[in-house]
Amino acid sequence: MRNIAIIGTGYVGLVSGSGISDFGHNVICADINEDKIKLLNKGQIPIYEPGLEELVLRNVQANRLSFTTNLKEAIQKSEVVFIAVGTPQSENGEADISAVNAVAKTIGENLNNKKVICTKSTVPIGTGEIVSGIINENKSTEAEFEYVSNPEFLREGSAVKDFLWPDRIVIGSESEWAFEIMKDVYRPLYINDTPIVNTTVETAELIKYASNAFLSLKISYINEISALCEKVGADVHVVAKTMGSDGRISPKFLHPGPGFGGSCFPKDTSALVSMAQNKNVPMRTIQAAIETNVHQKKRMVIKLHALTGDFSGLTIGILGLAFKSKTDDVRESASLEMVGSLLKAGAQIKAYDPEANTSFTEFFPEITYCKTWEEAVKNTDAVAVMTEWNEFRTMDLKKLKYLMKSPIILDTRNILSRKELQKNGFSFDNVGRPMASMQ
């Protein structure tokens, strides 16, 4: 059992902290945001993430997990300190590591014995050196530490599962002592044969960006193929499935859609391009993936326009605001582009998302938010399905048609049966499956 501090209680910090305490360690999660810590101490989870509440409560009850705003105490009581604060995108596309640097300073000032200082946040290559430098500048001469880069590969919506059953653990460290401690932190996974990769700090930092950029590339690739499918009469799902049955390709991350969003792919692809540019290395493929993604979001608006004609004066129902299902996160969601374009063109919006209405309000307070899909589609001229929530997959199409003013639907996630839509007299479109290939 080890004493561990996690600084930052966002997605990565909270999931990692509760996950590591579930492995049997004593974990203190610290954050300077008092409201967040107050909520957590009342047993309330500030984000929607399936399974997280149960994981947190289980470990709090077992006295292995606690929350505090006292960073000093959390650091001093621990032998491993994880940095898990946000690294938002700055205006030039690079990741803003000012929060990471601030935590590094606090760690330096409070370093009371030899510790492992480990960064989990996604940080630009070279941050390890910067963080180590800041700690060195602020610590007392006798205090010691070893630096580790331990990037996280959590997906929102399945973050708990991804943490407890990862494909691999990456530990970037030059120190054998630190590596052995980190292996012990992940002991239950290690004894279950989860691959643990020990590499340099820089390699570990790059692995995270290279992984996210490659997945973004895969999605943009299939989205472009979907556009071609529409023109030539091919079915993108058959193309993706068959491509994916080649073991070298794999079927994962080949689902066409309205363009990827979220906090990682858009941010990490831009950061990688910008980092590489600074080293005079062009990242043409990633740049193309970013451009394709921007265009894919616009393509959804064009598709809806092709179904409805001029948007002005129309009422459009938007089903799904989150960037994907099982999350309340709307960052870089395709719905932002759709709603923004529709409003600009003079349409009225009625929107519904099972979890993300509140977060979308921050961007578009002026639209009408509904409590059910039925309410959102009522008296609309057209509906766009933007997120793949299960409750949209199972919508009663007869009821949908009855509620709408005119039966026009754009399914940007390909979750509705085209046959059923046709049978019920809908005018519709989806992504990459032309109507001619319906049989």
**What does the binding site for ligand UDX look like in residue numbers (CB under 6 A)?**
152-156, 212, 215, 219, 253-255, 257, 260-262, 264-265, 323-324
Minimum distance from CB of 353 to ligand UDX (Å)? Answer: 14
| Residues 274 and 268 sit within 8 Å (Cβ to Cβ) | no
CA pair distance 198, 189, nearest whole angstrom: 15
Q: Are 147 and 111 in contact (CB under 8 A)?
A: no
Coil, strand or helix: which one is 11? Answer: helix
Smallest gap from Cβ 42 to ligand UDX, in A, equals 26
Distance CA 94, CA 89 (A): 6
Instruction: Count the residues in the chain.
Output: 439
Neighbours of 123 (CB within 10 A): 24
Catalytic position from the list 29, 118, 229, 264 = 264
Tell me how far, at minimum, the Cβ of 249 lies from ligand UDX, in Å: 13
Nearer to ligand UDX, 128 or 166 (CB): 166
Q: How far is CA 44 from the centre of its chain?
A: 21
Residue 136 Cβ, how far from ligand UDX at the closest point, in Å? 29
Residue whose CB is less far from ligand UDX, 94 or 156: 156
Cα gap 92→347, rounded to integer Å = 33
> Among 206, 214, 199, which residue's Cα sits nearest to residue 276?
206
Residue 309, classified by CB atoms within 10 Å of its CB into exposed (0-12), middle (13-18) or buried (19+), is: exposed
Q: What is the largest CA-CA distance in the chain?
A: 77
Query: Among all residues, whose Cβ is closest to ligand UDX?
Result: 264
Task: CB nearer to ligand UDX: give 12 or 347.
Answer: 12
User: In terms of DSSP bridges, do strands 315-319 and 3-7 run parallel, antiparallel, or are they unpaired?
Assistant: unpaired
Place of tokens 């494909």: 167
> Could you tell me which residues come within 8 angstroms of residue 346 by beta carbon, excluding any fewer than 6 positions away?
311, 312, 313
Least Å from the CB of residue 160 to ligand UDX: 12
Q: Catalytic: 264?
A: yes
Token output for 189: 């996974």
- Beta bridge partners of residue 27, listed in sequence order: 4, 65
CB 428 within 8 A of CB 411: yes
**Cβ–Cβ < 8 Å for 268, 213:** yes
Q: Nearer to ligand UDX by C-beta: 153 or 369?
A: 153
Q: Between residues 223 and 341, which has the closer beta carbon with respect to ligand UDX?
A: 223
Q: Which is nearer to ligand UDX, 190 or 253 (CB)?
A: 253
- Taking the least distance from each CB to ligand UDX, the nearer of 311 and 360 is 360
Q: At closest approach, how far in Å is the CB of 335 from ligand UDX? A: 10
Name the minimum Å distance from CB 114 to ligand UDX.
30
* Helix axis angle, 284-308 to 201-232, nearest 10°: 40
Residue among 180 and 291 whose Cβ is closer to ligand UDX: 291
CA dihedral of residues 383, 389, 390, 392 (deg, nearest 10): -10
Structure token pair of residue 337 = 């582009």
Minimum separation from the CB atom of position 74 to ligand UDX (A): 24
Positions marked active-site: 264
